[in-house]
Amino acid sequence: MTAANTFNAPDWLAAQPIVPLGHWPTPLEPLPRLSAELGGPKIWVKRDDCSGLATGGNKTRKLEYLIADAQQHGADTIVSYGAVQSNHARQTAAACAKLGMECHLLLSRRVDRSDQNYQHNGNMLFNHLLNAHIHTFELDDFEEGRLHILSSLEQQGKKVYQIPAGGSNAIGALGYSRCISELMWQAPFTLTQIVHASASAGTQAGLVFGNAAQDYGVDILGINVFHPDPDTLKQRITGLLRSMQDRFDVVQSIENLPIHINHAYFGGAYGQPTQAGLDAIKMFAALEGILLDPVYSGKAAAGLIDQITLGNFDNHEHVVFIHTGGTASLSAYDSIW
């Protein structure tokens, strides 16, 4: 910790409307046994899996800004999107339950898994417990179903606010601009390298934007876990950065901002576990008592471990791994163990 007792966001961030939903700051923990095992830089984990909202995760940071915007627009109903087993959907449902807002989750059967645990356990069980209205669709039927539900809610007189998948727009990404400032305040060392899972682009865009706005000079590596073509992820991040620049006017230019993505740990498809990811989950559990998930944090941890083993982080004394959450889905993937 620094000498300051309380984290204060940069002025431009502090000026943005926010609804408190999480437990901040999330812990920043050293991982001495994992670090010794790998023999590279000292590894730290930013525990955004401890952020609150029904087992936590990275979407809590985004939802603080998104729900504030929804309230400013007079919304009483939230509609959001994701895949079956979406961590974002579960955290959105928890936020709505906490604030007394109606929640509709429109979920696509994007992942080729049909076992009963995947369909009904994990995040799906939590969604039900959190009293969300759950609508599931095949991918081909999704847009028609979405329009039907929005029309129905409008006819009921609901004031609807739509949150994109992953909470990833210019407003939601603010959560991770705040996170990098929180990390800089919190770290008892000079922060130079961050590794995290990158999917809907909001986490990485927020980190990159906050990094540039405050001139921190941190290298940010996103491990692609969602996009078959990593260029799609880079384009989404760039688009979000452009939207943030237009909206918040604290970064002079986004044209030369570094967007570092590694696609080597994606595997066969989104939501399908990899052996490297499963090995990383077991290593984090056995050495540090930390649970990851096979969709996001496990694949990102596989990237972290391999990059250290390859010596690609040897120029850093410390590396921070952002644990974006997802352990709620472990029981849905029980058949992989």
Burial of 196 by CB count in 10 Å (0-12 exposed, 13-18 middle, 19+ buried)? buried
Q: What is the SS3 assignment for 216?
A: coil
Q: What angle do CA 242, 247, 249 make, to 5 degrees?
A: 85
Identify the active-site residue in 35, 80, 86, 200: 86
Longest dimension (CA), the chain: 61
Backbone CA torsion sign across 54, 261, 204, 79:
negative
Upstream peptide bond of 10 is cis (omega within 30 degrees of 0): no
Active site (annotated) includes residue 151: no
Q: Are 69 and 95 in contact (CB under 8 A)?
A: no
d(CA 21, CA 52): 7
Burial of 217 by CB count in 10 Å (0-12 exposed, 13-18 middle, 19+ buried)? exposed
Name the residue with tokens 């929005």: 150
Q: Are 195 and 38 in contact (CB under 8 A)?
A: no
Residues with catalytic roles = 86
